[in-house]
Amino acid sequence: MSLYRGRFAPSPTGPLHLGSLFAALISYLEARSHHGKWLLRIEDVDAQREQLGARQAIINTLQAHGLCWDETISFQSDRSHYYEKILKQLASLKYTFQCPCSRKQLIDSNGQHLSFCQKLADTQRVHIQSNNFKCATKFKINETQFNWIDDILGLMSFKHSEDFVLKRKEGFYAYQLAVVCDDIEQGITHVVRGSDLLDSTPMQLALFQSLKIKPPTYGHFPILLNDQLQKLSKQTYAPAINNSTPIKNLLDLFTILKLPIKNKPATVAEALQMALQVWDKHYIPAIKSLKHTPTV
């Protein structure tokens, strides 16, 4: 039995567009080709960014395209208790500190913490808060060089020396903490995601190392670009997927991946089966971005 456990983890900031469906398809094909599990996680840890109705829109689009997940959908908004537990564990290991510095202050000081901060220990939190300083909980970076074998891009080497936020001043848990906690709790063995998240990998590796837990295998595929060579996203006005043409949408993605699909499928299930019959991760280009030419 395969121990492969993958996941697709969209944020409900809007409906899925072609770039996000591309991400879902690749992670789905990788999981199914390994006879593994494919989980759906809705990363709604930041309620301020969530668009009304986006959760259900994402679910509807995945179902319309036959991308059916295993196990119950996980919602980050339900898991604050677990994030707090891991945060306390990191604090007990002296990997965290309380920081009242604003982003602007750190930029203006070239990353140097203010004199009244100096990476204050968690035990000093009450003292600085009593002086009307709201604090973010940050992770203290010890190692600055991070190397890993990316399942798509090969050997990767990143330098990361900046401490990063685990819990914001407003009380929201940060993405880096939440995603690592979820991957641990769900037993994720393989993370297949867009290259726009490459910069997050060193921070997530640092968290896994501090907790003495083996990280998943990471694989980063190219993100799709529009005609202006911008990432397809809500910010660049990428249109929502048309759920009434799922076979066409899948065939468009197969074309981008250059999958040798010779016959036109009659159903979504048949289309996915054809893709699985020829699927190999080597169809994923080992580059960071990919120009998308829309079809009519």
CA distance 176 to 65: 29
Cα-based distances in Å from 216 to 60, 179, 184, 186, 296: 28, 12, 9, 11, 39
3-state secondary structure of 124: helix
Q: Give pLDDT, residue 128.
A: 45
pLDDT beneath 50: ranges in the chain: 1, 122-130, 296
Distance CA 130, CA 98 (A): 13
CA distance 236 to 223: 13
CA distance 166 to 175: 8
pLDDT of residue 236: 75
Q: Give first-to-last CA distance, the chain, whole Å.
A: 42
Q: What is the dihedral of CA 275, 278, 281, 282, to 10 degrees?
A: -130
Match 């898991």 to its residue by tokens.
Answer: 79
CB-CB neighbours of 161 under 10 Å: 10
Q: Are 165 and 136 in contact (CB under 8 A)?
A: yes
CATH architecture of the domain covering 5-77+221-291: 3-Layer(aba) Sandwich (3.40)
